Structure formats: C-alpha cells, structure tokens
C-alpha cells in the first residue's frame, strides 16, 4: 500500500503516526518521490490537503516550502496567480471545466493558513497566557509576518532575510509569556513586549 504515487495514501498514515519505524522511513521517501512524479503539485484531496505541509515539515522543511511555492495548478499559489483573493474549491476557479467554481472560501485548501501561522511564522498557543514562537524561514521567501488577535491580545511573529542571516521580531501581549525558539538558538522565555532577535 505504501508503494504508490497517491499522496493521500502516504500523508494520512504519516500524519497520524500509524506506521512502524521502517514503514515511516519508506513512506517519507516515497512521498517525496510521489511529489517529484507530480511536478511538486498538490494531489492529496480534501482530507489530506490540510496535513501535507506538516508531514513534509517533519521530513524536510525545504520540501514543504517547495510544495507551497509551486505556482502551477494544482497548487496554492496558482490561485492568486490567476486572480484569486480567496481560496477556491476548484483549482481553476472561474475557468473550471465543471462549469462552476463551488466554494470561494474552501476549508481543505484554506487550511494552508494554519501552517503559515504555526510553522512559517511559528505562532502556537501553549496553555493559558503562554505561547510558543518557533518560526521556520525557508524557500525563496525573504520575509513573512503573522498577526494573531488572541483572547489575551495581539501576538505577532515575523522574520526577514538580512545580509547577515535572519532578523526576527516578536510581540507578546500583556500578562503573557512566550518561549521563543529560533533556528540554531537556545530557547528563551520572554514576557509581554516587542523583541527583535
């Protein structure tokens, strides 16, 4: 079952940790091969599309960015490239061969936004009044920023590429703390305020 180009058939057991160690290693390699065979386009379907970037992040962060950055159909960036301001149910949008575009705010494909918040920009709620900020810059992006209006106040995390590496900016709301985990650095705990690293 794991020797397949069907991305969903590989993503789901990896996402839910249903495989033993040898099977996991095989399925991870096979998923990268399946993506290569499909020109790094999304081929997961409704149930697995929200999971694929997390699975790829576990395998290789740059592979997750490679899938995210693909501008061809089917791919997330194909939609804004073709004029979308929302996430369409049909990859082709108004040009869909089915004659209709279905939902203009499609959850399955729109779940990519969770990855942009919790992995790319690294904002995660971690208990009452506490966050983990663990951004993962990558791909061809030179900067990214996410803003989350939590029940505690506004949380921000952003990064930008500089000539000397990466510059990170983090804002934590009043009466809150955060563990800031930056690539290659030791985790530091901060209280409310704005910080640059």
Is the pLDDT confidence value at 100 over 70?
no
Residue 14's pLDDT is 98
Q: What is the pTM of this model?
A: 0.93
Is the pLDDT confidence value at 99 over 80?
no
- The percentage of the chain sitting over the pLDDT mark of 90, rounded to a whole number, equals 83
Is the pLDDT confidence value at 114 over 90?
yes
Output helix, strand, coil percentages for the chain, rounded to the nearest 5. Answer: 35, 25, 40
Rounded mean pLDDT of the chain?
94
Q: How far apart are CA 79 and CA 88, in angstroms?
A: 7
CB-count exposure of residue 100 (10 Å: 0-12, 13-18, 19+): exposed
Residue 94's pLDDT is 72
Q: What is the mean pLDDT of residues 13-24?
A: 98
Is the pLDDT confidence value at 102 over 90?
no
Q: How far apart are CA 89 and CA 8, in angstroms?
A: 18
Is the pLDDT confidence value at 51 over 70?
yes
Residue 92's pLDDT is 82
Return the minimum-mean-pLDDT range out of 2-11, 52-61, 75-84, 165-174. Answer: 75-84
């Amino acid at each position: 079952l794991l020797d397949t180009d069907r991305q969903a058939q590989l993503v789901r057991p990896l996402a839910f940790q249903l495989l033993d160690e040898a099977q996991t290693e095989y399925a991870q390699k096979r998923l990268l091969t399946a993506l290569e065979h499909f020109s790094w386009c999304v081929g997961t379907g409704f149930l697995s599309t929200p999971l694929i970037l997390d699975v790829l992040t576990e395998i290789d962060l740059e592979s997750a960015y490679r899938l995210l950055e693909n501008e061809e159909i089917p791919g997330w960036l194909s939609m804004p490239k073709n004029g979308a301001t929302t996430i369409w149910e049909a990859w082709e949008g108004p040009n869909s061969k089915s004659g209709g575009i279905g939902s203009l705010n499609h959850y399955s494909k729109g779940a990519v936004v969770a990855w942009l918040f919790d992995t790319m920009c690294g904002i995660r709620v971690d208990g009452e009044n506490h966050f983990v900020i663990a951004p993962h810059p990558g791909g061809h992006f030179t900067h990214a920023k996410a803003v989350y209006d939590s029940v505690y106040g506004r949380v921000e995390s952003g990064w930008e590429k500089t000539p000397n590496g990466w510059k990170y900016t983090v804002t934590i709301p009043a009466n809150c703390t955060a563990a800031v985990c930056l690539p290659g650095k030791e985790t530091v705990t901060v209280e409310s305020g704005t910080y640059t690293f």
